[in-house]
């Protein structure tokens, strides 16, 4: 069962409570390059990303935020470290969310100013603890970047905000290893009601990072932990979104496109099935229907699975059978396998 969390508003989107679990990514363009950043955000939106975070390393970048936000509809979060002036400018520019650790801002009055401005504009703040950037004191106290140290660090940042009567908080506790990350979230879940932003940080390249993130994020989601997520991959942010959505789909938490069931192939397969599956998957990835589609490689065991799906095809040598809700509806020739199935998926009510 999903953990009960406090719901907060991020622009036109809700996070936590009963809101759908959202998928985030981060632009890798220079934020000061407005056209490139807008272009990347639009591509992320097409890939069905829900929220985009942009790095705000300096004042020039902060001053571009309004123009960027004006050209896109996705809620944008400004990622800010240490400099309270950047946070104030980002809020002035109309950003709808901040990622900022208040404990890293040295003077109390500076954080008070940021919190006051965030409260006035209804801008939530994500406290993002990363195992790699825990304070020296906490490392000494807990003997390293342990889950306990991560939780203590998050609570310290949270307390600063709560003491200023600010509760629109989201929290992330990321480490690059799964065990520590999961342990930290489990611990904090027992202590606060704030929604969690989950992910495994610096997970790796597309292949290794996908495996690692799927396990880590999957474990958390399976325990009901997580209200928004980001898959951190060293690569194209579009891939991060694809992987995030696929994880949610695999766990039957949220389905934004058809689920493809494909047979793993074996010696009984007499057709070139892989390109057929790829073409179907690619073409259906933009479709909004929450259906499942089975693509099977023979007429011996294929029909069973194809019959179970909303739509299925059992591909035999030269000819395939298309099933809709358990019934055979069409016989198609080998060169039409993908085309015919895609056509039927589009027509499916």
Q: Which residue ranges make up the site for ligand SF4 (CB under 6 A)?
A: 263-266, 268-269, 296-298, 300-302
> Considering the complex, what minimum distance in angstroms separates the CB of residue 36 from ligand SF4?
44
- In this structure, is the dihedral angle defined by the CA atoms of residues 153, 130, 144 and 111, taken in order, positive or negative? negative
- Give the tokens for residue 283: 């073409």
Nearer to ligand SF4 among residue 159 and residue 317 (C-beta): 317
Burial 261-285 (b: 16+ CB within 10 A, else e): bbbeeeeebebebeebbebbbebbb
Nearest approach in angstroms of CB 265 to ligand SF4 is 6
Question: What is the closest distance, in whole angstroms, from the C-beta atom of residue 299 to ligand SF4 in the complex?
Answer: 8
CB of 302 to ligand SF4, least distance (A): 4
Residues 334/322, Cβ–Cβ less than 8 Å: no
Name which of 268 and 317 has its Cβ closer to ligand SF4. Answer: 268
Q: Provide the 3-class DSSP secondary structure of residue 197.
A: strand
Q: How far is CA 155 from CA 80, 229, 340, in A?
A: 19, 20, 55
Give the shortest CB-207-to-ligand SF4 separation in angstroms: 24
144-182 in b/e form (b: 16+ CB < 10 A) is: ebbbbbbbbbbbbbbebbeebebebbbbbbbbbbbebbb
Choice between 291 and 299, CB closer to ligand SF4? 299
Q: Which two three-digit tokens encode residue 134?
A: 């825990």
Q: Please report how close the Cβ of residue 269 comes to ligand SF4 at its closest, in angstroms.
A: 4
* Closest by CA position to 196, among listed 11, 27, 55, 21: 21
Q: Which is nearer to ligand SF4, 61 or 276 (CB)?
A: 276
**Beta carbon nearer to ligand SF4, 255 or 301:** 301
CB of 280 closer than 8 Å to CB of 263: no
- Is 216 or 297 the residue whose CB approaches ligand SF4 more closely? 297
């Amino acid at each position: 069962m999903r953990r009960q969390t406090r719901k907060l508003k991020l622009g036109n989107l809700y996070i936590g409570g009963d809101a759908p679990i959202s998928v985030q990514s981060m632009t890798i363009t220079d934020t000061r390059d407005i056209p490139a950043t807008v272009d990347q955000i639009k591509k992320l939106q097409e890939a069905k990303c829900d929220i985009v975070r942009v790095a705000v390393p300096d004042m020039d970048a902060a001053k571009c935020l309004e123009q960027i936000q004006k050209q896109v509809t996705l809620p944008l979060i400004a990622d800010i470290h240490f400099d309270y002036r950047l946070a104030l400018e980002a809020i002035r520019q109309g950003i709808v969310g901040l990622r900022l650790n208040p404990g890293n801002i040295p003077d109390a009055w500076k954080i008070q100013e940021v919190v006051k401005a965030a409260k006035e504009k209804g801008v939530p703040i994500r406290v993002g603890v990363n195992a790699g950037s825990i304070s020296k004191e906490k490392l000494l106290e807990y003997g390293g970047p342990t889950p306990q140290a991560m939780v203590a660090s998050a609570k310290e940042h949270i307390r600063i905000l709560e003491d200023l009567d600010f509760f629109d908080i989201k929290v992330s506790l990321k480490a690059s290893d799964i065990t520590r990350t999961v342990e930290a979230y489990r611990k904090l879940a027992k202590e606060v009601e704030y929604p969690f932003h989950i992910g495994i940080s610096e997970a790796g390249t597309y292949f290794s990072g996908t495996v690692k993130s799927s396990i880590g994020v999957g474990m958390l989601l399976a325990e009901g932990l997580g209200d928004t997520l980001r898959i951190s991959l060293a690569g194209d942010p579009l891939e991060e979104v694809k992987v995030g959505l696929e994880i949610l789909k695999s766990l039957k938490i949220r389905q934004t496109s058809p689920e493809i069931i494909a047979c793993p192939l074996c010696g009984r397969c007499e057709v070139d099935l892989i390109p057929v599956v790829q073409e179907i998957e690619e073409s259906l990835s933009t479709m909004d229907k929450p259906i499942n589609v089975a693509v099977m490689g023979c007429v011996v065991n294929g029909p069973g699975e194809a019959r179970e799906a909303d739509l299925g095809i059992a591909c035999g040598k030269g000819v395939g059978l298309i099933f809709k809700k358990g019934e055979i509806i069409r016989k198609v020739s080998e060169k039409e396998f993908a085309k015919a199935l895609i056509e039927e998926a589009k027509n499916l009510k």
